[in-house]
Amino acid sequence: MTGASPDTQLSGDALMRSGGRGLLLTLYAALRSLKLYPVENATVQKSLDDLGASAQHLLAVESPLEIRLAGDFIFVNQTRLRLELDNYASFSHMLALFRGFDIGVLRVHAGVDRREWQAFLSILLSLSAKGTDTELFEELHERLAAADVGHLDVERATVAPETLDDIERQREVAKRTYAQGVAVTRDVITSVRMGRATGVKRVKRAVQMIVDQVLNNETSLVGLTTLRDYDEYTFTHSVNVCIFSVALGKKLGFSKLQLYDLGMTALMHDIGKARVPLEILNKAGGLDEREWFAMQAHPWLGALTLFGLRGYDEIPYRSILTAFEHHMKTDLTGYPRTVRPRELGIFSRIVAVADGFDAATTRRSYQTVPIEPDQVLREMWENPKRGYDLVLVKALINLIGIYPVGTCVILDTLEVGVVYAPNPEGQHLNRPLVRIAIDVDGGTVPPPGRPVDLSETDGSGAFVRSVVKVSNPARFGLTVGDYFV
Ligand SMILES: [Fe+2]
Ligand SMILES: [Fe+2]
Protein backbone atom coordinates (compact mmCIF):
# COMPACT_ATOMS: atom_id res chain seq x y z
CA MET A 1 0.00 0.00 0.00
CA THR A 2 1.32 3.42 -0.83
CA GLY A 3 0.56 6.79 0.65
CA ALA A 4 -0.34 5.58 4.15
CA SER A 5 -1.46 8.41 6.33
CA PRO A 6 0.61 9.40 9.32
CA ASP A 7 -0.84 8.29 12.65
CA THR A 8 -2.20 11.69 13.42
CA GLN A 9 -4.54 11.47 10.48
CA LEU A 10 -5.75 7.97 11.14
CA SER A 11 -9.23 7.47 12.50
CA GLY A 12 -9.51 6.02 16.02
CA ASP A 13 -10.32 2.57 14.71
CA ALA A 14 -7.46 2.48 12.22
CA LEU A 15 -5.09 3.77 14.89
CA MET A 16 -6.16 1.01 17.27
CA ARG A 17 -5.77 -1.55 14.52
CA SER A 18 -2.24 -0.58 13.51
CA GLY A 19 -1.19 0.36 17.06
CA GLY A 20 -2.76 -2.78 18.51
CA ARG A 21 -0.94 -4.89 16.01
CA GLY A 22 2.31 -3.15 16.95
CA LEU A 23 1.61 -3.74 20.63
CA LEU A 24 1.05 -7.43 20.08
CA LEU A 25 4.19 -7.78 17.98
CA THR A 26 6.37 -6.00 20.54
CA LEU A 27 4.80 -8.02 23.35
CA TYR A 28 5.66 -11.20 21.48
CA ALA A 29 9.20 -9.99 20.71
CA ALA A 30 9.83 -9.06 24.35
CA LEU A 31 8.54 -12.40 25.52
CA ARG A 32 10.79 -14.25 23.11
CA SER A 33 13.92 -12.30 23.95
CA LEU A 34 13.30 -12.72 27.68
CA LYS A 35 12.98 -16.42 27.09
CA LEU A 36 16.30 -16.56 25.22
CA TYR A 37 18.54 -14.10 27.07
CA PRO A 38 19.19 -12.84 30.59
CA VAL A 39 17.40 -9.62 31.57
CA GLU A 40 20.46 -7.39 31.28
CA ASN A 41 21.02 -8.41 27.64
CA ALA A 42 20.78 -5.52 25.19
CA THR A 43 18.20 -7.31 23.01
CA VAL A 44 15.93 -7.77 26.01
CA GLN A 45 16.32 -4.16 27.04
CA LYS A 46 15.63 -2.93 23.52
CA SER A 47 12.54 -5.14 23.23
CA LEU A 48 11.20 -3.82 26.55
CA ASP A 49 11.78 -0.27 25.30
CA ASP A 50 9.82 -1.07 22.15
CA LEU A 51 7.02 -2.63 24.13
CA GLY A 52 6.81 0.36 26.48
CA ALA A 53 6.76 2.75 23.53
CA SER A 54 4.01 0.94 21.66
CA ALA A 55 1.83 0.73 24.78
CA GLN A 56 2.44 4.41 25.49
CA HIS A 57 1.44 5.28 21.95
CA LEU A 58 -2.01 3.78 22.48
CA LEU A 59 -2.44 4.85 26.10
CA ALA A 60 -2.08 8.43 24.95
CA VAL A 61 -5.30 7.93 23.00
CA GLU A 62 -7.27 5.68 25.33
CA SER A 63 -6.67 4.48 28.86
CA PRO A 64 -6.88 1.85 30.17
CA LEU A 65 -6.05 -0.40 27.26
CA GLU A 66 -7.74 -3.75 26.98
CA ILE A 67 -6.30 -6.71 25.09
CA ARG A 68 -9.16 -9.17 24.92
CA LEU A 69 -9.41 -12.68 23.52
CA ALA A 70 -12.58 -13.93 21.90
CA GLY A 71 -12.48 -17.23 20.10
CA ASP A 72 -9.65 -16.98 17.59
CA PHE A 73 -9.66 -13.22 17.64
CA ILE A 74 -7.78 -10.60 19.55
CA PHE A 75 -9.37 -7.26 20.27
CA VAL A 76 -7.60 -4.13 21.42
CA ASN A 77 -10.30 -2.11 23.12
CA GLN A 78 -13.21 -2.35 20.67
CA THR A 79 -11.10 -3.03 17.59
CA ARG A 80 -10.54 -6.49 16.22
CA LEU A 81 -6.98 -6.97 15.03
CA ARG A 82 -6.67 -8.25 11.55
CA LEU A 83 -5.03 -11.61 11.27
CA GLU A 84 -2.73 -11.44 8.28
CA LEU A 85 -0.68 -14.32 7.04
CA ASP A 86 2.52 -12.43 7.82
CA ASN A 87 1.78 -11.89 11.51
CA TYR A 88 0.23 -15.22 12.23
CA ALA A 89 3.19 -16.33 14.36
CA SER A 90 2.88 -13.57 16.92
CA PHE A 91 -0.90 -13.81 16.97
CA SER A 92 -1.09 -17.54 17.36
CA HIS A 93 1.66 -17.54 19.97
CA MET A 94 -0.04 -14.91 22.09
CA LEU A 95 -3.40 -16.62 21.64
CA ALA A 96 -1.94 -19.93 22.82
CA LEU A 97 -0.17 -18.30 25.75
CA PHE A 98 -3.24 -16.40 26.94
CA ARG A 99 -5.37 -19.50 26.54
CA GLY A 100 -2.89 -21.57 28.52
CA PHE A 101 -3.35 -19.18 31.43
CA ASP A 102 -7.07 -18.85 30.82
CA ILE A 103 -6.56 -15.09 30.45
CA GLY A 104 -9.51 -13.39 28.79
CA VAL A 105 -8.40 -9.80 29.22
CA LEU A 106 -5.09 -8.08 29.86
CA ARG A 107 -5.66 -4.54 31.02
CA VAL A 108 -2.89 -1.96 30.71
CA HIS A 109 -3.23 1.23 32.76
CA ALA A 110 -1.53 4.53 32.10
CA GLY A 111 1.66 4.78 34.13
CA VAL A 112 2.84 1.24 33.40
CA ASP A 113 6.65 1.11 33.38
CA ARG A 114 9.29 -1.25 32.09
CA ARG A 115 9.84 -2.85 35.48
CA GLU A 116 6.20 -3.93 35.49
CA TRP A 117 6.33 -5.24 31.92
CA GLN A 118 9.45 -7.17 32.71
CA ALA A 119 7.98 -8.62 35.90
CA PHE A 120 4.77 -9.55 34.09
CA LEU A 121 6.55 -11.31 31.25
CA SER A 122 9.01 -13.09 33.55
CA ILE A 123 6.15 -14.40 35.67
CA LEU A 124 4.32 -15.59 32.56
CA LEU A 125 7.43 -17.37 31.35
CA SER A 126 8.31 -19.03 34.63
CA LEU A 127 4.74 -20.19 35.18
CA SER A 128 4.23 -21.47 31.65
CA ALA A 129 7.40 -23.56 32.02
CA LYS A 130 5.60 -25.38 34.80
CA GLY A 131 3.18 -26.84 32.29
CA THR A 132 -0.55 -26.88 32.22
CA ASP A 133 -2.32 -26.56 35.48
CA THR A 134 -5.85 -25.40 36.14
CA GLU A 135 -4.63 -23.11 38.90
CA LEU A 136 -2.25 -21.18 36.65
CA PHE A 137 -4.54 -18.19 36.48
CA GLU A 138 -4.81 -17.90 40.26
CA GLU A 139 -1.07 -18.19 40.62
CA LEU A 140 -0.42 -15.54 38.00
CA HIS A 141 -2.82 -13.23 39.74
CA GLU A 142 -1.10 -13.70 43.10
CA ARG A 143 2.40 -13.37 41.72
CA LEU A 144 1.50 -10.12 39.97
CA ALA A 145 0.20 -8.66 43.22
CA ALA A 146 3.28 -9.87 45.10
CA ALA A 147 5.57 -8.26 42.53
CA ASP A 148 3.66 -5.01 42.95
CA VAL A 149 2.60 -4.87 39.32
CA GLY A 150 -0.25 -2.41 39.73
CA HIS A 151 -0.67 -1.14 36.17
CA LEU A 152 -1.22 -4.51 34.51
CA ASP A 153 -4.08 -6.74 35.49
CA VAL A 154 -5.58 -9.87 34.06
CA GLU A 155 -9.12 -11.14 33.96
CA ARG A 156 -10.22 -14.73 33.55
CA ALA A 157 -11.65 -15.72 30.17
CA THR A 158 -15.39 -15.77 29.84
CA VAL A 159 -17.28 -16.38 26.63
CA ALA A 160 -18.77 -13.14 25.47
CA PRO A 161 -21.89 -14.05 23.51
CA GLU A 162 -21.72 -11.06 21.18
CA THR A 163 -18.24 -11.94 19.93
CA LEU A 164 -19.13 -15.58 19.46
CA ASP A 165 -21.99 -14.37 17.32
CA ASP A 166 -19.51 -12.33 15.38
CA ILE A 167 -17.32 -15.35 14.64
CA GLU A 168 -20.33 -17.43 13.70
CA ARG A 169 -21.53 -14.63 11.45
CA GLN A 170 -18.19 -14.46 9.62
CA ARG A 171 -18.29 -18.16 9.00
CA GLU A 172 -21.83 -17.86 7.68
CA VAL A 173 -20.89 -14.99 5.38
CA ALA A 174 -18.03 -17.06 3.95
CA LYS A 175 -20.34 -20.01 3.34
CA ARG A 176 -23.00 -17.83 1.74
CA THR A 177 -20.45 -16.21 -0.54
CA TYR A 178 -19.24 -19.61 -1.64
CA ALA A 179 -22.77 -20.92 -2.20
CA GLN A 180 -23.65 -17.80 -4.17
CA GLY A 181 -20.63 -18.33 -6.41
CA VAL A 182 -21.67 -21.93 -7.07
CA ALA A 183 -25.25 -20.86 -7.81
CA VAL A 184 -24.38 -18.22 -10.43
CA THR A 185 -21.88 -20.53 -12.11
CA ARG A 186 -24.52 -23.24 -12.30
CA ASP A 187 -26.98 -20.72 -13.82
CA VAL A 188 -24.57 -19.43 -16.43
CA ILE A 189 -23.38 -22.86 -17.52
CA THR A 190 -26.91 -24.28 -17.61
CA SER A 191 -28.17 -21.31 -19.63
CA VAL A 192 -25.38 -21.67 -22.15
CA ARG A 193 -26.06 -25.38 -22.39
CA MET A 194 -29.76 -24.72 -23.00
CA GLY A 195 -28.99 -21.99 -25.47
CA ARG A 196 -30.72 -19.39 -23.29
CA ALA A 197 -29.53 -15.82 -23.18
CA THR A 198 -27.73 -15.01 -19.99
CA GLY A 199 -26.41 -11.82 -18.46
CA VAL A 200 -23.31 -11.25 -16.44
CA LYS A 201 -24.58 -8.83 -13.79
CA ARG A 202 -25.18 -11.53 -11.18
CA VAL A 203 -21.86 -13.16 -11.93
CA LYS A 204 -20.17 -9.85 -11.39
CA ARG A 205 -21.86 -9.35 -8.02
CA ALA A 206 -20.90 -12.85 -6.88
CA VAL A 207 -17.29 -12.26 -7.90
CA GLN A 208 -17.19 -8.96 -6.04
CA MET A 209 -18.39 -10.75 -2.90
CA ILE A 210 -15.64 -13.33 -3.26
CA VAL A 211 -12.96 -10.68 -3.78
CA ASP A 212 -14.18 -8.66 -0.78
CA GLN A 213 -14.12 -11.80 1.36
CA VAL A 214 -10.65 -12.79 0.26
CA LEU A 215 -9.40 -9.28 1.00
CA ASN A 216 -11.00 -9.27 4.44
CA ASN A 217 -10.42 -12.76 5.66
CA GLU A 218 -8.38 -14.90 3.36
CA THR A 219 -8.13 -17.96 5.53
CA SER A 220 -11.81 -18.68 5.95
CA LEU A 221 -12.75 -18.59 2.27
CA VAL A 222 -9.68 -20.50 1.10
CA GLY A 223 -10.59 -23.06 3.76
CA LEU A 224 -13.95 -23.57 2.12
CA THR A 225 -12.35 -24.76 -1.10
CA THR A 226 -11.66 -28.07 0.62
CA LEU A 227 -15.34 -28.66 1.38
CA ARG A 228 -16.15 -29.78 -2.09
CA ASP A 229 -19.34 -31.17 -3.38
CA TYR A 230 -18.29 -33.87 -5.77
CA ASP A 231 -21.65 -33.92 -7.55
CA GLU A 232 -21.25 -30.35 -8.69
CA TYR A 233 -17.67 -30.56 -9.79
CA THR A 234 -17.78 -28.09 -12.67
CA PHE A 235 -19.41 -25.40 -10.54
CA THR A 236 -17.44 -25.82 -7.32
CA HIS A 237 -14.27 -26.13 -9.39
CA SER A 238 -14.94 -22.74 -10.99
CA VAL A 239 -15.51 -21.12 -7.61
CA ASN A 240 -12.38 -22.73 -6.16
CA VAL A 241 -10.28 -21.56 -9.10
CA CYS A 242 -11.76 -18.09 -8.60
CA ILE A 243 -10.84 -18.07 -4.89
CA PHE A 244 -7.30 -19.36 -5.47
CA SER A 245 -6.73 -16.93 -8.35
CA VAL A 246 -7.93 -13.94 -6.36
CA ALA A 247 -5.83 -14.95 -3.36
CA LEU A 248 -2.83 -15.27 -5.71
CA GLY A 249 -3.59 -11.91 -7.29
CA LYS A 250 -3.74 -10.37 -3.84
CA LYS A 251 -0.31 -11.81 -3.08
CA LEU A 252 0.99 -10.27 -6.30
CA GLY A 253 -0.27 -6.88 -5.20
CA PHE A 254 -3.19 -6.48 -7.63
CA SER A 255 -5.61 -3.65 -6.97
CA LYS A 256 -9.21 -4.36 -6.02
CA LEU A 257 -10.44 -3.56 -9.53
CA GLN A 258 -7.83 -5.84 -11.06
CA LEU A 259 -8.94 -8.54 -8.64
CA TYR A 260 -12.55 -8.11 -9.77
CA ASP A 261 -11.43 -8.69 -13.35
CA LEU A 262 -9.24 -11.62 -12.38
CA GLY A 263 -12.03 -13.18 -10.30
CA MET A 264 -14.50 -12.87 -13.16
CA THR A 265 -11.97 -14.36 -15.55
CA ALA A 266 -11.26 -17.29 -13.24
CA LEU A 267 -14.92 -18.01 -12.55
CA MET A 268 -15.65 -18.19 -16.29
CA HIS A 269 -12.48 -20.01 -17.39
CA ASP A 270 -14.26 -23.31 -18.11
CA ILE A 271 -17.45 -21.88 -19.56
CA GLY A 272 -16.63 -23.71 -22.79
CA LYS A 273 -17.44 -26.95 -20.99
CA ALA A 274 -21.09 -25.93 -21.27
CA ARG A 275 -20.75 -26.87 -24.93
CA VAL A 276 -19.08 -30.20 -24.34
CA PRO A 277 -21.63 -33.07 -24.32
CA LEU A 278 -22.60 -34.01 -20.75
CA GLU A 279 -21.93 -37.71 -21.28
CA ILE A 280 -18.29 -36.84 -22.00
CA LEU A 281 -18.03 -34.28 -19.21
CA ASN A 282 -19.40 -36.69 -16.60
CA LYS A 283 -17.96 -39.89 -17.97
CA ALA A 284 -16.59 -42.24 -15.35
CA GLY A 285 -13.30 -43.82 -16.37
CA GLY A 286 -10.94 -42.74 -19.13
CA LEU A 287 -11.90 -40.86 -22.26
CA ASP A 288 -11.21 -42.32 -25.69
CA GLU A 289 -9.46 -40.31 -28.36
CA ARG A 290 -12.61 -38.85 -29.86
CA GLU A 291 -13.89 -37.85 -26.41
CA TRP A 292 -10.60 -36.21 -25.47
CA PHE A 293 -10.78 -34.28 -28.71
CA ALA A 294 -14.22 -32.97 -27.73
CA MET A 295 -13.00 -32.13 -24.23
CA GLN A 296 -10.00 -30.27 -25.61
CA ALA A 297 -12.29 -28.02 -27.58
CA HIS A 298 -13.50 -26.30 -24.40
CA PRO A 299 -10.90 -23.49 -24.44
CA TRP A 300 -11.86 -22.12 -27.84
CA LEU A 301 -15.53 -22.90 -27.30
CA GLY A 302 -15.20 -20.89 -24.10
CA ALA A 303 -13.72 -17.90 -25.88
CA LEU A 304 -16.56 -17.96 -28.41
CA THR A 305 -19.19 -18.35 -25.69
CA LEU A 306 -17.92 -15.31 -23.81
CA PHE A 307 -18.25 -13.21 -26.95
CA GLY A 308 -21.85 -14.36 -27.19
CA LEU A 309 -22.95 -13.49 -23.67
CA ARG A 310 -25.42 -10.68 -23.17
CA GLY A 311 -23.53 -7.66 -21.87
CA TYR A 312 -20.27 -9.18 -22.93
CA ASP A 313 -18.72 -5.73 -23.00
CA GLU A 314 -18.76 -5.99 -19.22
CA ILE A 315 -16.54 -9.03 -19.42
CA PRO A 316 -12.87 -8.17 -19.22
CA TYR A 317 -11.22 -8.98 -22.54
CA ARG A 318 -8.68 -10.98 -20.63
CA SER A 319 -11.43 -13.46 -19.72
CA ILE A 320 -11.68 -14.37 -23.36
CA LEU A 321 -7.93 -14.72 -23.64
CA THR A 322 -7.78 -16.84 -20.49
CA ALA A 323 -10.61 -19.16 -21.54
CA PHE A 324 -8.56 -19.73 -24.68
CA GLU A 325 -5.10 -20.01 -23.10
CA HIS A 326 -5.54 -21.71 -19.73
CA HIS A 327 -4.45 -25.19 -20.93
CA MET A 328 -1.68 -24.05 -23.28
CA LYS A 329 1.17 -24.37 -20.73
CA THR A 330 4.04 -21.91 -20.65
CA ASP A 331 6.03 -23.97 -23.17
CA LEU A 332 2.96 -24.15 -25.48
CA THR A 333 2.87 -27.96 -25.45
CA GLY A 334 -0.72 -27.97 -24.19
CA TYR A 335 -3.92 -27.24 -26.08
CA PRO A 336 -5.12 -25.62 -28.26
CA ARG A 337 -1.96 -25.94 -30.31
CA THR A 338 -0.47 -22.69 -31.48
CA VAL A 339 1.48 -22.18 -34.64
CA ARG A 340 3.25 -19.02 -33.60
CA PRO A 341 5.28 -18.45 -30.46
CA ARG A 342 3.38 -16.47 -27.89
CA GLU A 343 3.64 -15.45 -24.28
CA LEU A 344 0.66 -16.38 -22.13
CA GLY A 345 -1.14 -13.50 -20.43
CA ILE A 346 -0.67 -13.06 -16.70
CA PHE A 347 -4.34 -13.91 -16.00
CA SER A 348 -3.96 -17.11 -18.02
CA ARG A 349 -0.87 -18.11 -16.09
CA ILE A 350 -2.54 -17.43 -12.73
CA VAL A 351 -5.70 -19.30 -13.66
CA ALA A 352 -3.66 -22.22 -15.03
CA VAL A 353 -1.91 -22.65 -11.68
CA ALA A 354 -5.13 -22.33 -9.67
CA ASP A 355 -6.88 -24.67 -12.11
CA GLY A 356 -4.15 -27.31 -12.06
CA PHE A 357 -4.06 -27.34 -8.29
CA ASP A 358 -7.80 -27.59 -7.79
CA ALA A 359 -8.32 -30.16 -10.54
CA ALA A 360 -5.60 -32.46 -9.22
CA THR A 361 -6.73 -32.31 -5.60
CA THR A 362 -10.40 -32.95 -6.33
CA ARG A 363 -12.00 -36.26 -6.93
CA ARG A 364 -14.06 -36.17 -10.09
CA SER A 365 -15.61 -38.48 -12.57
CA TYR A 366 -12.55 -39.36 -14.62
CA GLN A 367 -10.14 -39.31 -11.74
CA THR A 368 -11.53 -41.28 -8.85
CA VAL A 369 -8.70 -40.92 -6.36
CA PRO A 370 -7.72 -37.36 -5.43
CA ILE A 371 -3.98 -36.81 -5.14
CA GLU A 372 -2.83 -35.36 -1.84
CA PRO A 373 -2.32 -31.57 -2.00
CA ASP A 374 1.32 -31.70 -0.96
CA GLN A 375 2.14 -34.10 -3.77
CA VAL A 376 0.28 -31.93 -6.24
CA LEU A 377 2.24 -28.83 -5.26
CA ARG A 378 5.52 -30.69 -5.34
CA GLU A 379 4.72 -32.06 -8.79
CA MET A 380 3.71 -28.62 -10.07
CA TRP A 381 6.95 -27.22 -8.72
CA GLU A 382 9.35 -29.97 -9.78
CA ASN A 383 8.04 -31.28 -13.08
CA PRO A 384 8.79 -28.80 -15.89
CA LYS A 385 6.53 -30.78 -18.24
CA ARG A 386 3.52 -29.48 -16.34
CA GLY A 387 4.27 -26.10 -17.88
CA TYR A 388 3.26 -23.82 -15.01
CA ASP A 389 4.74 -20.42 -14.31
CA LEU A 390 7.06 -21.29 -11.42
CA VAL A 391 6.88 -17.86 -9.83
CA LEU A 392 3.15 -18.38 -9.47
CA VAL A 393 3.53 -21.96 -8.22
CA LYS A 394 5.86 -20.61 -5.57
CA ALA A 395 3.29 -17.96 -4.65
CA LEU A 396 0.63 -20.66 -4.37
CA ILE A 397 2.86 -22.75 -2.11
CA ASN A 398 3.40 -19.69 0.02
CA LEU A 399 -0.29 -19.08 0.11
CA ILE A 400 -1.54 -22.48 1.12
CA GLY A 401 1.61 -24.21 2.28
CA ILE A 402 2.67 -27.65 1.20
CA TYR A 403 -0.16 -28.81 3.43
CA PRO A 404 -3.18 -26.71 2.51
CA VAL A 405 -5.77 -25.61 5.02
CA GLY A 406 -8.09 -28.53 5.76
CA THR A 407 -5.47 -31.26 5.25
CA CYS A 408 -5.65 -34.02 7.85
CA VAL A 409 -2.13 -34.90 9.08
CA ILE A 410 -0.68 -37.63 11.27
CA LEU A 411 2.23 -36.37 13.40
CA ASP A 412 5.29 -38.19 14.76
CA THR A 413 3.87 -37.65 18.25
CA LEU A 414 0.99 -39.93 17.15
CA GLU A 415 -1.35 -36.99 17.34
CA VAL A 416 -3.73 -36.32 14.45
CA GLY A 417 -4.53 -32.79 13.42
CA VAL A 418 -6.10 -30.57 10.81
CA VAL A 419 -4.08 -27.82 9.12
CA TYR A 420 -5.74 -24.47 9.75
CA ALA A 421 -3.15 -22.01 8.39
CA PRO A 422 0.14 -22.08 6.50
CA ASN A 423 3.22 -21.27 8.50
CA PRO A 424 3.84 -17.51 8.31
CA GLU A 425 7.59 -18.10 8.15
CA GLY A 426 8.42 -18.57 4.47
CA GLN A 427 11.12 -21.19 5.06
CA HIS A 428 8.71 -23.45 6.95
CA LEU A 429 6.45 -24.41 4.06
CA ASN A 430 6.21 -27.94 5.40
CA ARG A 431 5.42 -26.87 8.97
CA PRO A 432 1.92 -25.42 9.02
CA LEU A 433 -0.22 -24.41 11.97
CA VAL A 434 -2.31 -27.39 13.00
CA ARG A 435 -5.23 -27.95 15.33
CA ILE A 436 -4.83 -31.22 17.20
CA ALA A 437 -8.00 -33.27 16.87
CA ILE A 438 -6.79 -36.59 18.28
CA ASP A 439 -4.49 -36.67 21.27
CA VAL A 440 -1.38 -38.76 21.91
CA ASP A 441 -3.52 -41.25 23.82
CA GLY A 442 -6.08 -41.47 21.03
CA GLY A 443 -8.69 -39.30 22.73
CA THR A 444 -10.66 -36.86 20.60
CA VAL A 445 -10.11 -33.16 21.24
CA PRO A 446 -13.45 -31.48 20.65
CA PRO A 447 -13.57 -28.86 17.85
CA PRO A 448 -11.98 -26.44 17.24
CA GLY A 449 -9.09 -28.53 18.60
CA ARG A 450 -5.82 -27.45 20.21
CA PRO A 451 -3.66 -25.15 18.05
CA VAL A 452 0.02 -26.02 17.62
CA ASP A 453 2.76 -24.61 15.40
CA LEU A 454 4.82 -27.32 13.70
CA SER A 455 7.85 -25.02 13.48
CA GLU A 456 8.06 -25.05 17.27
CA THR A 457 11.36 -26.48 18.58
CA ASP A 458 12.41 -27.86 21.94
CA GLY A 459 15.43 -26.76 23.99
CA SER A 460 17.86 -28.68 21.79
CA GLY A 461 16.54 -27.14 18.57
CA ALA A 462 14.70 -30.27 17.45
CA PHE A 463 11.17 -29.90 16.16
CA VAL A 464 8.53 -30.81 18.70
CA ARG A 465 6.18 -32.22 16.05
CA SER A 466 6.53 -33.21 12.40
CA VAL A 467 4.14 -34.51 9.79
CA VAL A 468 4.55 -38.23 9.15
CA LYS A 469 1.87 -38.48 6.53
CA VAL A 470 -1.30 -37.00 5.17
CA SER A 471 -4.40 -39.00 5.85
CA ASN A 472 -8.07 -39.21 5.08
CA PRO A 473 -10.00 -37.44 7.87
CA ALA A 474 -12.88 -39.91 7.51
CA ARG A 475 -10.60 -42.63 8.88
CA PHE A 476 -10.65 -40.80 12.19
CA GLY A 477 -14.26 -39.74 12.01
CA LEU A 478 -13.24 -36.10 11.65
CA THR A 479 -15.10 -33.37 9.82
CA VAL A 480 -12.24 -31.05 8.86
CA GLY A 481 -14.55 -28.03 8.58
CA ASP A 482 -15.06 -28.17 12.36
CA TYR A 483 -11.38 -27.42 12.90
CA PHE A 484 -10.98 -24.09 11.17
CA VAL A 485 -13.09 -20.96 11.07
FE1 LIG B 1 -10.27 -25.92 -18.46
FE1 LIG C 1 -10.69 -25.73 -15.09
Distance from the alpha carbon of residue 472 to the mean position of ligand 2, in angstroms:
24
Q: Give mean pLDDT, residues 179-199.
A: 86
**In this prediction, what percent of the chain has a pLDDT beyond 70?**
84
Give me the CATH number covering residue 338: 1.10.3210.10
Q: Among the three residues 129, 159, 189, which one is the final residue of a domain in this structure?
A: 159
End-to-end, the C-alpha distance of the chain in Å comes to: 27
Q: Which ligand is nearest to the CA of 266?
A: 2
Q: Do 429 and 354 reside in the same domain of the chain?
A: no
Please tell me the predicted confidence (pLDDT) of residue 301. 96
Distance from the alpha carbon of residue 323 to the mean position of ligand 1, in angstroms:
7
pLDDT above 50 for 380: yes
Q: What are the distances in angstroms from CA 75 to CA 13, 67, 142, 193, 409?
A: 11, 6, 25, 49, 31
Distance from the alpha carbon of residue 385 to the mean position of ligand 1, in angstroms:
17
Q: Among the three residues 159, 190, 212, which one is the final residue of a domain in this structure?
A: 159
pLDDT tens-place string over residues 106-119: 999 999 999 999 99
Distance from the alpha carbon of residue 353 to the mean position of ligand 1, in angstroms:
11
Q: What are phi and psi of 234, to 5 degrees?
A: -60, -35
Please tell me the predicted confidence (pLDDT) of residue 404. 67
Please tell me the predicted confidence (pLDDT) of residue 294. 94
8 Å CB contact between 242 and 213: no
Distance from the alpha carbon of residue 355 to the mean position of ligand 2, in angstroms:
5
**Selection from 342, 396, 351, 347 nearest residue 374 by Cα:** 396
Q: State how far the Cα of 136 lies from the Cα of 149, in Å rounded to an integer.
A: 17
Distance from the alpha carbon of residue 197 to the mean position of ligand 2, in angstroms:
23
Distance from the alpha carbon of residue 213 to the mean position of ligand 2, in angstroms:
22
Q: Which ligand is nearest to the CA of 242?
A: 2
Q: Do 333 and 202 reside in the same domain of the chain?
A: yes
Q: Do 105 and 193 reside in the same domain of the chain?
A: no
pLDDT tens-place string over residues 138-157: 888 889 989 999 899 888 87
Distance from the alpha carbon of residue 291 to the mean position of ligand 1, in angstroms:
15
In angstroms and rounded to an integer, the radius of gyration of the C-alpha atoms of the chain is 25
Task: Please tell me which residue, 63 or 55, carries the higher pLDDT value.
Answer: 55
DSSP code string of 357-372: HHHHHS-BTTB-SPPP
Q: State how far the Cα of 418 lies from the Cα of 396, in Å rounded to an integer.
A: 19
Q: Which ligand is nearest to the CA of 267?
A: 2
Distance from the alpha carbon of residue 158 to the mean position of ligand 2, in angstroms:
46
Q: State how far the Cα of 481 lies from the Cα of 484, in Å rounded to an integer.
A: 6
Q: Give mean pLDDT, residues 260-283.
A: 92
Distance from the alpha carbon of residue 270 to the mean position of ligand 2, in angstroms:
5
In a domain, 358, yes or no: yes
pLDDT band of 429, cuts 50, 70, 90: low
Structural domain boundaries, residue 462 = 408-483
Q: Which ligand is nearest to the CA of 273?
A: 1
pLDDT tens-place string over residues 25-50: 899 889 888 888 888 888 889 899 99
Q: Do 241 and 152 reside in the same domain of the chain?
A: no
Q: Do 124 and 229 reside in the same domain of the chain?
A: no
In a domain, 2, yes or no: no
Task: Please tell me which residue, 446 or 4, carries the higher pLDDT value.
Answer: 446
Q: Which ligand is nearest to the CA of 234?
A: 2
Distance from the alpha carbon of residue 87 to the mean position of ligand 2, in angstroms:
32
Distance from the alpha carbon of residue 297 to the mean position of ligand 1, in angstroms:
10
Distance from the alpha carbon of residue 270 to the mean position of ligand 1, in angstroms:
5
In a domain, 454, yes or no: yes
Within 13 Å of residue 306, how many CA atoms lie on the same side as its CB? Answer: 27
Q: Do 168 and 154 reside in the same domain of the chain?
A: no
Distance from the alpha carbon of residue 269 to the mean position of ligand 2, in angstroms:
6
Q: Which ligand is nearest to the CA of 334?
A: 1
Distance from the alpha carbon of residue 248 to the mean position of ligand 2, in angstroms:
16
Distance from the alpha carbon of residue 347 to the mean position of ligand 1, in angstroms:
14
pLDDT above 50 for 283: yes
In a domain, 221, yes or no: yes
Segment among 6-10, 36-40, 342-346, 404-408 with least mean pLDDT: 6-10
In a domain, 175, yes or no: yes
Q: Give mean pLDDT, residues 443-450.
A: 89
Q: Give mean pLDDT, residues 331-357.
A: 94
Q: Do 349 and 318 reside in the same domain of the chain?
A: yes
Q: Which ligand is nearest to the CA of 325?
A: 1
How confident is the prediction for the chain on average, in pLDDT? 83
Please tell me the predicted confidence (pLDDT) of residue 335. 95
pLDDT band of 291, cuts 50, 70, 90: very high
In a domain, 193, yes or no: yes
Q: Do 245 and 342 reside in the same domain of the chain?
A: yes
Distance from the alpha carbon of residue 302 to the mean position of ligand 1, in angstroms:
9
Q: Do 263 and 330 reside in the same domain of the chain?
A: yes
Which residues share a beta bridge with 108? Answer: 65, 152
Distance from the alpha carbon of residue 320 to the mean position of ligand 1, in angstroms:
13
Please tell me the predicted confidence (pLDDT) of residue 363. 57
Q: How many domains are there within the chain?
A: 3
Q: Among the three residues 128, 159, 190, which one is the final residue of a domain in this structure?
A: 159
In a domain, 301, yes or no: yes
pLDDT above 80 for 386: yes
Q: Do 242 and 153 reside in the same domain of the chain?
A: no
Query: Where are the alpha helices (H) located in 326-452, listed in sequence order?
Result: 346-361, 373-382, 390-400
Distance from the alpha carbon of residue 416 to the mean position of ligand 2, in angstroms:
32
Q: Do 238 and 368 reside in the same domain of the chain?
A: yes
Q: State how far the Cα of 245 lies from the Cα of 265, in Å rounded to an integer.
A: 9
Q: Do 44 and 108 reside in the same domain of the chain?
A: yes
pLDDT band of 55, cuts 50, 70, 90: very high
In a domain, 390, yes or no: yes
**Selection from 478, 422, 370, 325 nearest residue 83 by Cα:** 422
Distance from the alpha carbon of residue 235 to the mean position of ligand 2, in angstroms:
10
Please tell me the predicted confidence (pLDDT) of residue 88. 61
Q: Which ligand is nearest to the CA of 276?
A: 1
Please tell me the predicted confidence (pLDDT) of residue 133. 54
Listed residues: CB within 5 A of ion ligand 2 = 270, 355
Please tell me the predicted confidence (pLDDT) of residue 365. 42
Distance from the alpha carbon of residue 234 to the mean position of ligand 1, in angstroms:
10
Distance from the alpha carbon of residue 325 to the mean position of ligand 2, in angstroms:
11
Q: Which ligand is nearest to the CA of 356?
A: 2
Distance from the alpha carbon of residue 400 to the mean position of ligand 1, in angstroms:
22
